[in-house]
Each structure stands twice: as structure tokens, then as C-alpha cells.
Structure 1
């Protein structure tokens, strides 16, 4: 790379420099599989010395894990920006926020949720699992159910299941082109409202037991 084409290095505060490096890593890991991105590539893209990448993030894998974490974790600021109105307004705003984020960073988000090039890696699985737990807690806050203690684990399980639907539906839109954004928004909004307004009240009231006609036993292994 010539001097004329090399990115100019500017003196930035540590947080700004770290954010700049992370933004470049997000973009590069979204464009290429993990083995095809080096810390040298990221440093060149960010206009910093390679040593700064290691200084702020450690190894290449550490940086990759941070990229995945940033792409799949719902930040607390997303809750703070939700409207103070009724449930439907908050659900609509939550879905809109999610779709805005995944469309703005579509290639990076898709690479993160599929962990492209790192399939089966225990550290990646841990980061994805942690993000699911954070999402469950923050979604309960968003729909006004953060204080429900007795059925908390059941509610968190439902929200985690909804999160899986949201991810799959967004992929149908962004990756396969099978759905439009409007269709995804409708599906996710109506589904979340149904869970909160119809399913969860049944669980809290014990309706899941009252309506049962028989005990569901664990599935037995199939004999060869």
C-alpha cells in the first residue's frame, strides 16, 4: 500500500480508538470468514499499528468474540429509548429497533448469528448463550414483566424461544429474501403480543396445568 492510499492515523482518545478498531473488525468479519481476516487486515483498515489491536483486544479470536458479542447482544440503551406508552407501542418499537440494527449491519449480524467459519467453537457458543440470557431479561423489562418472580424461568424460556424465531425470521428476510421487512415486522409484533397478552397470563394463572388432561412424561430412548 502506498503512502497516498494508506489510511491516515489520527490521534484519538483510547475509547474512540478502541471503537474504531471494533467497527472495522465488525465490517471485515462480516465480509469474510474468520480464517480470511487477520489482525493486520483490521489494523490497516482502522489506520492503526497492529500492536494496538492486540493491546485493546488481545488475540484475533478475542476480538472476534467481541464482534459476535456486540452483534448479538441487546444493549441496555435500547431499553432506555423505548417509548413510555402502552404495551403495543413498546412491542412495535422493540421490533423496529431489532430490524433497524440487523438491516444496518446485515452481513456482520448474519456472520455473527451463524458464527461463520467457527462452527462448534465452545467460546463462540458461550458468547451466543450469554447473549440469549441477556436478551431474555431485557425483553421481560421491555414488556413490563421484569418483576414476575414465581414463573420467571418459564417466562424467560418463552422469550428465548421468541428470540430464536426473531433470528430465523430475520434470516428469511436478509439472507433468503423470502419475506419483506413489513412481513417480518408483522410476524414478530403479533407473535410477541400474543405471547405477552395470551400465553403468559395463562401460565401465571396456572392455566397450563388446569387445561392438561394427562401428565406428559419424558420421551424414552428409541431402541435400535
Structure 2
């Protein structure tokens, strides 16, 4: 006789399903995981997947959204620090978060590149925009549309560097930190406009 399922509050049950799905998607692509496997891994009836998420696709999006959004953690104390010091401390904080959050963050970030549909891209864009805001706040820079647009491309670089470091071992942590710090500083530094030269024959 099967043991009775533990009764959980809806939010806890939903999270239980997401956590189980994350484990499956950490080393297998979306198309290789069936709804039945997702239900078995979570220890729930298949109908509960549809009840909480509508379908398998929405569950995958929920896993993606949770996995590629940097976890809420307190930033280091930056009082009196230069922008360069703040950038290095922030990138170190992000690398530490990637380590403690586990391989799921890296794997799910990579999965975004394998499924370029609009709904997944919207989740990635949302996470990248949030990360850009976080970094601007950490650097003590204004959250302007222009600066945020300059920083958003570094999110893809950060994920790629973390994959090289955590999954492939091609970077050391220090190399990853140096590369990301230099890149962020390059992207946020404003290039002054080139002065126009006076046209010949005109008064200067």
C-alpha cells in the first residue's frame, strides 16, 4: 500500500514541483523530459502539473525564471569604495551566488540559448534587466535607460563565463572575476563625444 502523500499548502506544493523539475532540467534538455517524469520526480499526480502550471511549457518557464534570476542576497558594504572596487566586489558577489545557487543556474541559463522562442526570451530579458539594475545600484550609478542598455549585454557574458568556469573548467575563479570586472567597467564607462573639427574656411 502506497504511503499517503504529505499535504502541503499550494505555494509549497508548487515550489516542490519547480524544485523537482529543476533537477531534471539541470542535465537534460526540455524536449527530453516528459510530463509524466516531471510528476514522478515531484511525487505528485500528473494532473497537478496542469493544475499549478497549465502545461509542461509553463512549468519550464517557471524553472527558467527562478533559475536565471539572481537570488536575493545582501550586497557587500560599499561605503567609501571607488567604482573599480565596487565592480570587483559585485562580480565576486555574483560568482559566489552562482556557486551557492548550484549548477541549475548555469544549466538553465544555457538552455535559454537552445530555445529561442519569444516566451523564453521574455523571461531571459526580464532577468537580464533586473541584473543590470542590481549592478548599477551596486556601482552607485544612476538607473538610466542608457546605462541599463549598456549593461544588459554583460548578463549573457556573465552566464557564458560561469559555464566556462563551473562546467568546463577552462577558467579559474580568479580569471572569471578579472574578466567580468574588466567587462563591466568597460560597459559602464561613458565615452566622451569626439569633438567636431571646424570646417575649413570658416571662422573658429
Give 1:161's match in structure 2, choosing from 124, 147, 153.
153
Name which of structure 1's ranges 61-70 and 34-43 shifts more when overlaid on structure 2: 34-43
Name the CA distance, whole Å, in 1 between partners of 2:55 and 2:176: 37
**Cα 1:83–1:107, aligned 2, differ >3 Å: closer, same or farther?**
closer
Report the TM-score, using the length of structure 2 for normalisation: 0.79
CA change 1:93–1:120 in 2 (3 A) is same
Match of 1:84 in 2: 77
Shift of 1:161: 2.6
Q: 1:36 aligns with which of 26, 32, 35?
A: 32
* 1:208 alignment partner, SS class: coil
Output the CA distance in 2 between the equivalents of 1:101 and 1:41: 29
- Give the match for residue 60 of structure 1: 56
Q: Which runs of 5+ in 1 are unaligned?
A: 215-224
Alpha-carbon separation, structure 2, partners of 1:169 and 1:127: 20
SS at match of 1:178: coil
Unaligned runs of 5+ in 2: 198-204
Aligned partner (choices 167, 171, 175) of residue 175 of structure 1 = 167
* SS at structure 2 position matched to 1:175: helix
Displacement, 1:22? 0.6
TM superposition score normalised by structure 1: 0.73
CA RMSD of aligned residues (A): 2.9
1:42–1:94 distance in 2 versus 1, CA, 3 Å: farther
Alignment partners' CA distance in 2, 1:51 and 1:97: 40
Q: CA deviation at 1:40?
A: 1.8
Q: Residue 114 of structure 1: which of 103, 107, 110 is its match?
A: 110
